[in-house]
Amino acid sequence: SLESYPNVHHLVSSVTGELAAGNDALDLIAGSFPGGSITGAPKIRAMQIIDELEPTRRSLYCGSLLYVDVRGEMDSSIAIRSLLVKDGLVSCWGGGG
């Protein structure tokens, strides 16, 4: 769906499904990380180019924030437009494409 805000229009998707027998939430995240909206496509080559061009690791930026509860249910999101505060230093990331 399209969500509209004063300064941006954002496409939003919710994905649900059932895992194949023998798989759990960690198998799901391992198979889908990093998100295609972060890497671009084709994914493997895009990741190689990112590694070649970016001088430092992304840290939290564009990583996955997630939890898995005791029932094995998971919720996750991609960390964009994020701040990290550590030892009095604030790091800020952002991107666009």
pLDDT per position as a tens digit, 34-82: 888 788 888 889 889 989 998 888 888 888 888 889 997 878 888 888 8
- The pLDDT value recorded for residue 78 is 85
Please enumerate in sequence order all residues whose Cβ is within 8 A of that of 91, keeping only pairs 6 or more positions apart, or say none: 59, 83, 84, 85
User: Per-domain residue ranges for the chain?
Assistant: 23-93
Q: Please give the residue that has the higher pLDDT: either 60 or 21.
A: 21
Whole-angstrom Cα distance, residue 25 to residue 31? 10
Asked if the model's pLDDT at residue 31 lies above 90, the reply is no
DSSP letters for 82-95: EEEEETTEEEEE--
Q: Average pLDDT of 27-36?
A: 81
